[in-house]
Amino acid sequence: MSDWPSRFEAELVRLGVQPERARQLGAETAAQAGEHAADPDRFFGPAHLYARHLVTELQAPTAAVPSLPGPVLLRLTGVSKRYRRREVFSGVDLTVRGGEVAAVVGANGCGKSTLLRICAGLTRPTGGDVRRTRRVGFVPQDGGTAGWLTAEEHFTLFGAAAGMAPRKARSTGTHLASRLAWRPGRHQPVQELSGGTRQKLNLVLGELHGPDLLLLDEPYQGFDQGSYLDFWRQVREWRDAGRAVVVVTHLLHELANVDHVLDLGAHSGGDR
C-alpha cells in the first residue's frame, strides 16, 4: 500500500493547512484516485508537488470575477422531478448569471444528471419553471460520439448542426482541443482514442458553437492530472469571458473556485 496519502497530508500541514482540512482533502483525493482505480502517485504525481499545487489553487484570488453582475443565463424556480411515483428532487432554485460558475453536488442517485438535462431542455421537469439563454452547450457524462468518425468529422458534423461552415468548425475544434493540450490525429477514428481523450472531444463539441451557458456533467472523468488542471483553468477563462457554467462534480475541494454550490442531496431522497 502506498504512503502517498500520508505524505500528501503531511505536506499540506507543513504548508499551513489545518490538520482536519488536510485530512478532508486527503480523503477526497484518495476517493478521486479510487474512482479511477488509479495509483495516486501516477494519477496526481508526487505527493509533495500535488500538495503545493493544491495550496496555490486554494489561495488563488478570485478577484477576476467581474464586479458588475452579468445577465441571468439560467434560472430554475421550484423545479421538481418525478419518475413514476418516485420523487427524485423537489423545490430546486438556482440562478446563474454570466460570469458565474455553479457546482451541483450530492450523493449518487440524488438527481444531478437529471437536473442538468432539465437545465439543457432535454428532460421535462414535473414541476417548477426553467428559464435559460438560447445558446447552451451540454456535455453529458456519456458523450454522444460516433466511434467510426474522426475528431475532425465530429467538428464538421456538430458545427453543421449549429450553422457553422465546415472549415470554421474544424479550425475552431482544433483550437479548442489545443487548449486542453490535445492535438487530434487527422485519420484516427474516435473508437481508438483513450477514455480521457474522448472526454476532451465531448468538451470541445459542447463548446464548439460558442454557447453562453455551459452545462457539464463530470466532464473530467478519465483526465490525467495535467488535463484536469487545464479543465479548471478553462472554467475560469469561461467565467472571466462572461459565460455561465454549471458543473456536476464530486470533488469538493474544487468548490472554492465556484460562485454557487447547489447541494441536491438537500432536495432529494437519493437512491432508495
Ligand X SMILES: Nc1ncnc2c1ncn2[C@@H]1O[C@H](COP(=O)(O)OP(=O)(O)OP(=O)(O)O)[C@@H](O)[C@H]1O
What residue ranges bind ligand X (CB under 6 A)? 83, 88, 106, 108-114, 271
Exposed e or buried b per residue across 189-217, where buried means at least 16 C-beta atoms within 10 angstroms of its C-beta: ebeebeebbbbbbbbbbbbbbebbbbbbb
Query: Cell 458534423, residue?
Result: 157
Query: Please, which residue, 112 or 267, has the CB nearer to ligand X?
Result: 112
Q: Are strands 127-132 and 136-139 parallel, antiparallel or unpaired?
A: unpaired
Instruction: Give min distance, CB of 46 to ligand X, in A.
Output: 30
Q: Compute the least distance from the CB of residue 270 to ligand X, in Å.
A: 8
Nearest distance from residue 113's CB to ligand X, in Å?
3
CB of 269 to ligand X, least distance (A): 9
Residue 97: CB minimum distance to ligand X, A: 24
* Residue among 46 and 127 whose Cβ is closer to ligand X: 127
Residue type for position 183: R
Closest CA to 214 of 237, 190, 241, 246: 246
Q: Which is nearer to ligand X, 189 or 265 (CB)?
A: 265
- Give the residue with the Cβ less far from ligand X, 113 or 225: 113
Give the containing element (helix H, strand E) for 128.
strand 127-132
Nearest distance in Å: CB 38, ligand X: 19
- Cβ nearer to ligand X, comparing 67 with 108: 108
* 107/86 Cα distance (integer angstroms): 17
DSSP states of 6-26: HHHHHHHHHTT--HHHHHHHH
Identity of the residue, 106 or 206, whose beta carbon is nearer to ligand X in the bound complex: 106
Contact 33, 40 (CB under 8 A): yes
CA distances from 237 to 37, 103, 148 (A): 30, 16, 32
